[in-house]
Every structure is written in structure tokens, then in C-alpha cells.
Chain A
Amino acid sequence: MPGFGQLALAIGQAAALLLLAPLASGFCRVLRAKIHTRTGPGFLQDYRDILKLLKRQEVVPKGAGIIFRAMPFILMATLLLIAMALPVLTLASPLDAIGNVFTFICLLGLVRFFFSLSGIDSGNTFAGIGASREATMGALMEPVILLALFVAALLAGSTSLGQISTSFRSLSGGSIAAEIAVLFAVAFAVFVEMGKVPYDMAEAEQELQDGPLTEYSGPGLALLKWCVGLRQVVMATILIGVFLPYGAAASASFETLLWAALAFVAKLVCVFLIVGVIENSVARNRFFLTSRSTWAGFGIATLALVFYLVGL
């Protein structure tokens, strides 16, 4: 059982990420508007959008069942659970019991599973196509994450996310090349998982009218938009919390946590800045050609394994 302090930290960081998510997506919108040379909405627009949607009436398609209704809640709960287990401010995971590679991958899979299932359940053709794309993206990206995390676990000698983060902090894995390759593979996977152009396959607005999101409205849509933002923040956190843990607190005192929080926000802004620039300077990939570029990610992850084996 985790102690009270750890539990409080876990809940606190999940709540913070949740509250931060609309700000992060608002930041993306501002950046996008700047690159488009338009004025655009402010940083807080996504909070306003979510609040407005929460007040609206919800319309559910006739054929939709329980999965369609439950999906936003399941998604939110799962993402919050991941957020609780990630090492955000501290080097160790606050909830070590679920803060390991396997749970993490399973929870990510769960998110994807329900996301695409609800698309099929809504009965809408566009949502259906979006769902099948989401599933395909899963099949393409999961091997990359799996392999990269396993190499990281081998390097750290443990599957605990906290241990991995500590080992990346001190570079004690014994193979610098492998650690760098893992970092790149994870960064690539994180970018794809954030669902940004050119990899926003499932929700491609011009092609599929937002895919699985098509049929949602009102509070359901508000929750989902929040989840999409939260998922991006969580994915960014796995990169900067576990693989770039510089500035993270080794011990949980108030002052170190404060510095860690500042460092975390700075890193988060950097990640979103880079992602935003990439996202706005390319066109969407053709869906059928996606697998060609995702192989690059798998290649890097494989390279990491090779580096580890030869101990470079």
C-alpha cells in the first residue's frame, strides 16, 4: 500500500495534468494561429469550449449502445490512472504498484480499444472508418512502444517506470547509444500517439469529419475533447518524465517539488512547441502510406535493442 503522501502526490499530479490539458491544447491553438498569420483565440479558449459544451444538450444516435455512452468516462478514468502512475515531479513513480511498463502499455491499449469501439458502436460510417484507422494505428505503433520500453527496462534492470527514470537520470544503463535510441523511438511514438498532423488519421477532419468523435455532442463531447487534450499531455509526460527526467525531484520535499514542477512545465512547453511546428508545416499523410513512416520508429527501437546487446 502506498503511503498517504504518495497517494496525495499521485492524485495531485493527475488533477494538475487534467487541469493543465486544456491549457496545453489552447497553447497549440495559439501557436497554430501564429503560424497561420491569423489572430486566433487566446490560451484559455479550450476551457471556454469545454464549459460551453458541458451546458449543452446531449444527442445520442439511435443505434448507439452502452459503449458509446460509457466511452468518455472510461477514457477519462483510464487516462487519469495513467497520469497518477507516471513519474511527473519525482524520479520514482508515486504509485509503484501500477507504475510499470506492462500496466502502462495495457492502459494505453485500453484507451485505444474503447475509442475505436465507440466509433463502431455509433453506427456512423465515418466514425467506423475512423475506428478502423485507430485500430490500425495501434497495430503499427504498439510494437514501437513495446520494444522501446522493453529495451529501457533491460537497461534499468527493472520494469518499474520509477526505476527506468532513475536509470535515465544517472545514465547508469551501461549503454549510452541504446539510451539515446530509446529516447528517439519513444519521442517518435509519443508524437504519433498525440494524434497530430500528419498522423491524425482517426480524426482527420477533412476526410472523416473527426472520426469517432463525429456523433458526440454536449457533455460527452466536452469530456472527450478534454480527454484528447489529456492524452496529449500524458504522452508528452511519459517522454519528459521517464526519459528526460532532468530537474525531477529525487526526494519529496516541498522545495524540490516546486523546482521540479517548474522544470516540468518548461519541458512541456518545449515539447508542445516542437510538436506544433512540425504539425503546422506538413500535410496529412495518406493513410495507406502511414505504415512506411512508422517503420522508421520500429527501426530505431530495434537499433536500441542492438546497441544494448552489444553494450555500445
Chain B
Amino acid sequence: MSVSTESRRGTGYVAALRQKLPSSVLDESWQTAEQATITVTREALPEAVETLYYGHNGWMSVVVGSDERLLNGHFAVYYVLSMEGSEKSYVVVRALVPPDTMEFPSVTPKVPAAVWGEREVRDMFGLRPVGLPDERRLVLPDDWPDDLYPLRKDAMDYRLRPEVTTETETYKFINAAKSETTVVPLGPLHITSDEPGHFRLFVDGEDIIDADYRLFYVHRGMEKLAETRMGYNDVTFLADRICGICGFTHSVAYASSVENALGINVPPRAATIRTILLEVERLHSHLLNLGLACHFVGFDTGFMHFFRVREKSMELAELLTGSRKTYALNLIGGVRRDILAEQNLRTRQLIGELRGEVTRLLDILLSTPNMRQRLEGIGRLEKQVARDYSPVGPTVRGSGHHRDVRIDHPYAGYGSIPVGQHVMDGCDVLSRTLIRSQEFFDSITIIEHCLDNAPPGPVLVEGFTYTPHRFALGYTEAPRGEDIHWSMLGDNQKLYRWRCRAASYNNWPSLRYMLRGNTVSDAPIIVASIDPCYSCTDRVTVVDVRKRDATVIPYKEMERYCRERTNSPLK
């Protein structure tokens, strides 16, 4: 697609990269005015990503692996960076990996945020990131055969269920503590979330010295399914099912990735309807999380009341989409249903009731005697750790970073709407909870604004044709943070490659640092404070203890830190 040169945003980053690595930048292409893909030589990959990440205020959004042997004879890896410096744009660093060696230099030693992405590429494509500090499996189960890489084009049918190779769990949990610790297993079913995730807390008395976790017990192989079985518009409905809470943001992210790739302009009314529903989903999700925060500290009265009020947000979803979840509304090019006058009225009435009830509930919650005591100073995510691991949503905003896709990279109707941004420096569970409660009221204001100013017109464009092998990003700010989808169209009415990354995927890796130094009794509330979504990530494990410049912290130092808990080696 041709993007006029003058409308482009992010040219400064490309120029800087060309200047820093003059002979390594092989190609530059623009998918939209704010999405550039730069192909660099394999050897220059880590430095290119590091330059953008730490040199130009880039944040790691997702790492995409792709089997492009049918297109150009190589595998490809794409490191998607959300650039949040002076220009707001996405820059994707791409490198080709030859199929004979299947090796490329790992970025993780320079940019820790890449660790999960590289482990996943290793699992799914068999590509070897050389120098990757943590080579355990991330996505594939322990009993999966060694030489079967599901996402390779010639690997397997999506229905294949290979024989298990071992009956015992072989996953090694990492424990950075050298002194004696007791292992507290939480899982495979998390106690109070009642979701599958296996945590190991390494504790001394009641203090958590270190933590490790294994997730992806319910990996559903959606990407493979979409690539081999479903048409473009079917995938919007599959994307809805990625998450039971924030499904709509996924289908918007997917639909807009295809729209971006093909240059389709969604009608303004459709964009506004998408915005309204994205915010309805945020109301629902934040109420759920505030309720759970009460539950985890033993304040079940609050929990029940938040759940009672949450019912109204589900009624809203039913009113606007026809199902109690905001499902099945998106199509590529727009939405399937308009908002009619009486629905408009009823929506206003419902959000009015919600505003009143939640205001009262939050008053009660924050004046409950020991609520604040339970949340303050707990589960600290230090600012620098947050910078290194690129968490998203309220998690990163609670640690003092200004990141919100709605503001940085406006999508759907957000370009013309005033969106408030709430950032707190507390770095603790309290900050994250307060940010959620403030965002709740913002969402109500945004919905009212959209209802007042919805432009007339059609809600769907049709009649476009799909051009093979175009690709682009689609992104949304889900209640838990940035969701990002990378789609490449195929030549058989199916996607050639679809990579969807949920918000929790980026938040899990930093959780280990939040758990350290707290007590066992605070573990559930800390885990809940990132509002984790097991099934939609469904992808945690750990990242080794290392600094940005990749010097490994010796165990002795870690041990000292565990004992004295001062001068963190992470800083």
C-alpha cells in the first residue's frame, strides 16, 4: 500500500536507525502512516531493537515469528515496538532467519522484554535465539514431542494430537534464592482465581523470596486454527473468543489489523460504535477486578456488591450486541448492528445508574478500615523493572509510566475524544486499584460523549478485495492494557499468519518482581492486581535475573539481596 511520504509518523526513528547502523538496514516499508517495517540483517537485530527500545523510548509490543519459506525461502522474526517518544508510531524490526541454520541472535540479553516472545518463537517454529538465557518451553506442554513445531507451514494438521512423550512433569522452576526455602505450590489450578496456572512460591517463613510460574495449560492453538481453517471474517468471531471478558477488544484489534493492511477506512459511525462497546467492556472488566480485589483480602461483602452492580454492564452488552458478552459484533470494515434511538436512551439510563452505584461502592470500599492497609506498599513494580519488561495497562500506569494506546496510537473513534489518563507513582497494588476505579468513570464519560456525538452514516463498508501477503498491525487498549494483533493475508482466503497478543502476556513476566519480598498472604492480591487473564494470555515463566546490559547477577549477590533486601541488583 502506498502511504504518502509527508503523512508518515515515525520517520525520525527510521532515520536514526539508518544512521546508527548504516549498512545493516536492508529495507523499509510502510503499512500505514504510523506503521513502518524495517528489515535489518540478522546480526544487527539485537542492536537495532535495543537502539529503538532504550534509545528512542520504544516499548516491546510483541515478537512475531513467521514461516515465510513459501514467500522468500526464509523464516522471519518481527519485533514490534511501540514508539512513545516525540513521534508516536509503531516500528517493526524484521530479520530473516535462514532455514538451514535456523539461528538468530537473541535480543533478550539487551532487552529483557523480548524473553517470552523469543521463547515462543522457539517453541512454535524451532528457531533458535542464540544467547537466550531461558531456554525452557513457554507455550508447548512438557510432554510435547521435541521435533514438532506447530506453526511451521509443513508441520502438522491442526487436528493432530501427538502422543505424549513423558508422564511426569519435567518443567524446572527457577529459584534465585540460595538459602533454604520452602516451596509453596499454588496450582495447577490457582486457588482463588480458579484458573489454570502453576505458581511456585519459594518462601522463608511467610516471606516470598522468589517466585516462578508455568502457564499455558489451556493453549487452544487459535493461531494455527485461523491460519488453516477459517476465512477472514470468521476470525473476527474466533478473536472474540480469545477472552471471556475482553473479547471485543481482540476482535477490534484483529479487524483493524486487516483494515490497516488493506487500507480500508471504517465508516465513522462504525468506529464510534466500536468505541462505545470497547468502553462497555472496560466497565465490565474493571468492576470484576475491583470485586476480586475485595474478595482476595477477605472482604466478601464488597465482592458481592461489585458483582451485583456488574450485572448492569452485562445488561448494557446485551442491549447493544444481543449477547451478554460484547460478542459477535465486528466484521472487517465495520460492525453488524447499529445503535438505535431507544437503545441510546436505555444506555444513558444504565450508565447513569452505574455511575451512582459505583461511586457509593467505592466510597464504602476506600473507607473500609483495613482495605488501604492491605493494598498500600504491596506488590511493588519498580519503575525500572517496568521499563525493562514493557508491561501494559493499569499495571504500567501504576508505576508512573504514561502508556495508553488510546492516547498514544488512537484507533477506532479515540482520535476525536478526550480520554483522561491516570498515572500514579505508588508502584503498588493500591495505585493499580485506584487507577482502575478512576478509569471506570472515564469510560462512562467517553460512552456519553460518543452517544452525544455519534456521526450518522453507514456502519459497514463492503466490496473490497483481499490482496495476498499484505500485513499490518491492529491494536487496542483493553481494560488490562494493550492488545496487539499482527496479520498477514494469504492467497487462499485465509490468513497466512496471525499473531494475537493479549495484554496479560506482557504483564506476567514482571509479576515475579512484584511477588518478591512480600508475604504469602499477599500473593493472591498481587496476582490479581495485574488482573491476569489466564486463557487469553494463555501464555509466565521467568526471566532470569539480569540487568539491561546483560551482566548476569551472581547468585551471591542475589542471596545477599534476598537477605538484606537493600540495593536491588535489578536497579
Contact = CB atoms under 8 A, between A and B. Distances in A.
B301 A129 contact: no
Interface stretch (A52-60, A152-160, A278-286): A278-286
Interface stretch (B24-32, B46-54, B364-372, B418-426): B364-372
Interface stretch (A199-207, A221-229, A255-263): A199-207
B449 interface: no
A281 B182 contact: no
A126 B206 CA distance: 11
A292 B194 CA distance: 33
A279 to B, nearest CB: 9
A132 B368 CA distance: 28
Interface in B213-249: none
B305 to A, nearest CB: 7
Contacts of B185: 125
Interface stretch (A30-38, A43-51, A169-177, A298-306): A30-38
A284 B374 contact: yes
Given A125-B182, A207-B524, A286 B373 contact: yes
A36 B361 CA distance: 13
B374 A283 contact: yes
A34 to B, nearest CB: 10
B417 interface: no
Contact of A206 (B184, B296, B301, B370): B296
Contact of A36 (B183, B305, B520): B305
A283 B368 contact: yes
Contacts, number: 84
Interface string A96-129: 0000000000000000000000000000011011
Contacts of A280: 300-301
A277 to B, nearest CB: 10
A137 to B, nearest CB: 13
A126 B187 CA distance: 12
Interface in B330-383: 368-371, 373-374
B298 A283 contact: yes
Given A129-B520, A287-B206, A200 B298 contact: yes
A289 interface: yes
A36 B304 CA distance: 5
A211 B229 CA distance: 48
A206 B520 contact: no
Identify whether the interface residues of B are mostly helix, strand, loop, or mixed: helix
A36 B301 contact: yes
A282 B299 contact: yes
Interface string B286-322: 0000000011111111111100100000000000000
A282 B302 CA distance: 9
B184 A35 contact: no
Interface in B395-438: none
B184 A286 contact: no
B368 A284 contact: no
Interface string B181-206: 01111000001100000000000011
B87 interface: no
B568 interface: no
B298 A37 contact: no
A125 B298 CA distance: 20
Contact of B370 (A36, A198, A204): A198
A38 B184 CA distance: 34
Nearest to B365: A283
A208 B369 contact: no
B143 interface: no
A66 to B, nearest CB: 24
B519 interface: yes
B295 A206 contact: yes
Contacts of A288: 206, 519
B323 interface: no
A85 to B, nearest CB: 33
Given A37-B304, A198-B370, A208-B521, A283 B182 contact: no
Contacts of A200: 298
A217 interface: no
Contacts of A208: 520-521
A-B pairs, 4 with minimum CB distance: A284-B298, A36-B304, A283-B299, A283-B297
Given A125-B183, A125-B185, A280-B300, 16 more contacts: A36-B300, A36-B303, A129-B520, A197-B299, A198-B298, A198-B370, A200-B298, A204-B298, A205-B192, A206-B296, A207-B298, A207-B521, A283-B299, A284-B374, A285-B374, A287-B206
